[in-house]
Structure 1
Amino acid sequence: MATQAPSTADAPPSPWPTVVRAVVLLTAVISVLLTAFAWPSVRSSAHGVPIAVAGPGSAVEQVGAALDQRLPDGFAITEVADTAAAERLIRDREVYGAIDVTSGAPRVLVASAASAAVAQTLQSVATGLGQAPGQAPAQGGGAPPAVRDLVPLPADDPRGAGLAAGALPLVMGGMLAAFLLSRLVRGTARQAAGALAFAVTGGLAVAAILQFWLGSLDGSYAANSGAVALAIAATSLSIIGLESLLGYVGLGLGAVAMMLVGNPLSGVSTAPEMLPGWSGTLGQLMPPGAGGQLLRSTAFFDGHGATSSVVVLVTWLALGAVLCLAGGLRARRVGKHP
């Protein structure tokens, strides 16, 4: 006669040390979550943001000294001879903006599509530079310099909210794809094929929403879709590869890396150079950061500045493929030798 397992109500309560361990674990988890998402925002400031200064050497030195006084180590300055050279660097995504002192009073050149936060910061610190070249810049109270936005954000989304908000769904989409495919589809090759197929359809859908409905993107729809698809594929395939090799541990490691490291350090809502210390550089080496920068390049800069982001994403994609291959070979060996 079969015996019935005791119900939960009949089971003895957990010992108090178990409760204490659970509370300690939850406290650690919430502390990590808060640190991961709040620390980059609270410590956000300009850190070596590349800009250009156009004008004579003496004027460039004075402007650089004034900027360093207002925001120490905030900008990495490239000296150029004229306005055209500064504009070219901005459009090629080599700098975020420029201060032009070639014709008397300083003018500020920005590209809000590259980073609205950097554009606002540059305008703010440039206030008070309204002196003629050869004179010491004003130390406060100067008239704001004229501002020209070379690459503005779309009129339907002038704050860039859609692009910033789209970073999290891209990460979640890649993670969700990895989780569902690893649970619902058997066979590493079929899981990888599903991830790549979803990357294409997801890229088309996300780019269509951002570009045609929300008006957050300009440029080529095909290029924008490709940028989103590459980011999703790099995220999902790398997590699937980890899961195929390490099981649930790999799935957890991939999710933590993308959600708690890659997403908050992506710099999509501001700029990588606005994040504290080394975090901006680290963020650009992960799919969320590289994907966000690639999408900015395709949407607003005709693909300029996209090379490094493409290299990062393709590297993650290749890593995921290698992990999937290793996981598949391991599964076959285990199957042959139980």
Structure 2
Amino acid sequence: MDTPAPRVADTLPSSWPTVARAVVLLTALISVLLTSFAWPSVRSHVHDVPIAVAGPPAAVKQVSAALDQRLPGGFAITEVADTSAAERLIRDREVYGAIDVSSGAPQVITASAAGAAVAQTLQGVAVGLGQAQGAGKTSPVRDIVALPADDPRGAGLAAGALPLVMGGLLAALLLTRLVRGIARQVAGALTFAITGGLAVAAILQFWLGSLDGSYLANTGAIALAIAATSLTVIGLESQLGYAGFGLGAVTMMLIGNPLSGTSTAPEMLPGWSGTLGQLLPPGAGGQLLRSTAFFDGHGSTHSVLVLMTWLGFGVALCLAGGLPRRERRLAAGSAENVVAQPSS
């Protein structure tokens, strides 16, 4: 049998207007990518970062005024009576650090595990407080919840944010393309969330030394983040097809990842973007992992609720997407039975 000759339209080169449209589209895409990833970093600054100031009311007001003069609007201050109260707020993840003037001479208390960038800012505050006391002096700094010695800058935790998002997206892509049946896709996503959580937590904790705390708790935090991402995207794809996958990818990768605040702190992102980031799986997952790894789970309630909401949303979409498919299969089966019945 002769092979049919290719159509002329298939062999002709594309028109120049088609090339121009492709170039315009690619230029727009790279501009969006750059904006989504660079804008939060370039515009990051200290604003409304929660800290505590411990000491007598008069001293607390004096320190608060000095902080507002040094960094206007930089801190949201909680006044406490003594050192133990300030440390309790830090360990409960209600504040990032504290300035303690309860003993007379000021000292700065930090928690680099909560955010290395904020801890560095507070170290700069310690220098300013020391200079106010006298030339060449620096107020002492205590890091009561420090990052691991093997990763004192928290690089592993910051770098792990993107692979977690990509893992959830890749799981959704492969499962929707290779696995038939929405129930099997959901089962595959949940199973991968567990195995992926075990693997990622093992690498970050036992090899790179970037995590402390309970390995199983860290695994659970990572697994919940992966499941929330992958199931949401699978659910969107079941409803909208390729457009749903694109919507999920944009939400998680181009919005959620840059606004997660994992490498700095949500409060350092510009304007409202940090708050938005904590309502999406990448941001909530990063904060949950910090809580399980360094703070015995304190301060994790909001992150767990956000992730469970997204996970439930994804499952609901998957169930809604699976019902029409089941009805079509039942209808097709009924039609086959009718055709197969012999006429009387």
- Give me the TM-score of the superposition, normalised by structure 1: 0.94
Distance 2:50 2:8 in 1: 65
Instruction: Tell me, yes or no, if the aligned pair for 1:71 and 1:125 is still in contact at 8 Å.
Output: no
**C-alpha displacement at 1:330, in angstroms?**
2.2
For the pair 1:221 / 2:222, whether they are aligned, the reply is no
Partner of 2:292: 298
SS at match of 2:130: coil
- In structure 2, the residue matched to 1:4 is 5
- Residues 164-196 of structure 1: CA distance to partner in whole angstroms, max 9, x if unpaired? 111011001100100000011000010000000
Matching residue of 2:152:
158
Partner of 2:55: 55
Are the aligned partners of 1:67 and 1:126 in contact in 2 as well (CA < 8 Å)? no
Name 1:183's counterpart in structure 2: 177
Q: Distance in 2 between matches of 1:227 and 1:27?
A: 37
Query: 2:39 corresponds to which residue?
Result: 39
Q: CA deviation at 1:65?
A: 1.3
User: Which residue pairs with 1:17 in the alignment?
Assistant: 17
Query: How far apart, in 2, do the equivalents of 1:275 and 1:15 lie?
Result: 44
1:29 — aligned with what? 29
- CA-based RMSD of the aligned residues comes to 1.7
Q: Which amino acid aligns with 1:321?
A: V
Q: Distance in 1 between matches of 2:63 and 2:126?
A: 9
- Deviation of 1:130 after TM superposition, in Å, equals 3.2
Structure 2 equivalent of residue 134 of structure 1: none
Match for 2:179: what amino acid?
V
Q: Are the aligned partners of 1:52 and 1:80 in contact in 2 as well (CA < 8 Å)?
A: yes
Paired residue type of 2:30: I
Match of 1:129 in 2: 129
Q: Deviations over 1:237-271 (max 9, x none)?
A: 11001111111111111111110001010000111
Say which of 246, 259, 269 aligns to 1:265. Answer: 259
Do structure 1's residue 102 and structure 2's residue 102 form an aligned pair?
A: yes
Identical counterparts, % of pairs: 78
CA distance in 1, matches of 2:130, 2:42: 31
* 2: CA distance, partners of 1:128 / 1:121: 11
User: How far apart are the structure 1 equivalents of 2:318 and 2:267?
Assistant: 34
Amino acid at match of 1:23: V
Q: CA separation of 1:235/1:284 partners in 2, compared to 1, >3 Å: closer, same or farther?
A: same
Q: Which has the higher helix share?
A: 2
Deviation at 1:81, TM superposition (A): 0.4
Partners of 2:126 and 2:141 within 8 A in 1 = no
> Helix, strand or coil for the counterpart of 2:113?
coil
Equivalent residue number for residue 275 of structure 2 = 281
Whether the 8 Å contact between 1:105 and 1:130 is mirrored in structure 2 is no
Residues 49-81 of structure 1, C-alpha deviations (whole Å, 9 max, x = no match): 000000111111111111111111110000000
Distance across 1 between alignment mates of 2:137 and 2:7: 79
State the number of aligned residues.
331
Secondary structure of the residue aligned to 1:13 is coil
